[in-house]
Amino acid sequence: MPHIMISYQWDSHELAKKVFAKLEGLGFDAWMDLEDMSGNINEAMAEAVENAMVVVPFLSEKYQASKNCKKELNYTDSCDVDIVPCMIQPNFKAKGWLGLLTAGMLWIDFRNPDNFEQSVESLVKEITAACGDKVAEITLKVTSEETKQLVTPQKGRAFIHISTNKYLAETGEVKTHWGSGSRSTLTVTDTPEDTSFWVQVKEKGSEIVFFKNYATQGYLGYDPNGDYIYTKPDHYGAEEWLLMTDENDDTGKRAVIIFANYGKKYLTVRDGQLTGVDDVSTDCRWYLH
């Protein structure tokens, strides 16, 4: 049975144990080294990684400096095991080998102990999103409806604009573009609709992501010339996005910044309309639902 492996540097042992216990309580088969890798370090690490559904590293300066943590995460990457990083140190930015390995990954915020429960919920949702069908292979020991809702894969990601509390969605209106055929227009809605859910498409090792609408299968794009957001059946340069963790949000939720890679603009809502802006501001923040 695949497990969730917690990868941590020994100084974050107590936090790792709390997360481990919470995951076990939700019914996941979690694994962590409780004795600081005693015995054959390489053999124990390799077995834990090879049997993992996902590896959850607790990012910090000391994690980055640890030779054993570097071995673990590099081996995780070589085994093509999913990685869902957690940030545990305020103002820390991964560099070198750790920065390269986690570039473009959304990290879950465990920097604020007061938001521990929300952080764990965000972690579980991100594991569900990252691992997809692998989650369904696990027989949960806890069968409450609340837990089922937490770990059941959904239609995709919904983006909620934090400043307006509105959902990114298609309008159902189709326009013809002279260069690329039909395009569907986008809007923001008060409640989630069928076209409010987006499946993330990403190649391993790339920071570029594409967002395909769950209902219509159209790819999200941004036209910098007309300053408008749309979907279309295929994806090229204008449909490339970067999804970044909002480092200024400390709620423990999955707060993100959405950047159009081709148009070089940040996605936001102003005066009730979707638009792209040059610089990140407080209204450029979205929650993943």
Helices and strands per DSSP (H, E), number in the chain: 8, 18
The CATH T-level fold of domain 159-288 is Trefoil (Acidic Fibroblast Growth Factor, subunit A) (2.80.10)
Contact 106, 123 (CB under 8 A): no
Q: How far apart are CA 279 and CA 266, in angstroms?
A: 7
Domain ranges of the chain: 3-151, 159-288
3-151 is a CATH 3.40.50.10140 domain: yes
Give 225's contacts (C-beta < 8 A, 6+ positions apart). none
Q: Please report, in tens digits, the pLDDT of each residue of the chain (289 residues total).
A: 689 999 999 999 999 999 999 998 888 889 998 765 555 667 878 899 999 999 999 999 999 999 999 999 999 999 999 999 999 999 999 999 999 999 989 999 999 999 999 999 999 999 988 877 666 555 455 445 555 555 555 678 999 999 999 999 999 888 876 666 789 999 999 999 999 999 998 877 789 999 999 999 999 999 998 898 999 999 988 999 999 999 999 999 999 999 999 999 999 999 999 999 999 999 999 999 8
**CATH topology of 3-151 equal to that of 159-288?**
no
This prediction's pTM: 0.87
Q: Which two tokens stand for residue 76?
A: 């995780």
Q: For residue 186, what is the enclosing H or E element?
A: strand 181-189
Return the closest-CA partner of residue 235 out of 283, 157, 183, 275.
183
Number of residues assigned to the chain = 289
Instruction: Name the DSSP class of 90.
Output: T
Biggest CA pair distance of the chain: 66
Distances (CA, A) of 31 to 40, 151, 238, 266: 17, 18, 41, 38
Angle at 41 between CA 64 and CA 47, to 5 degrees: 95
Q: At which residue do the structure tokens 């890798």 appear? A: 37
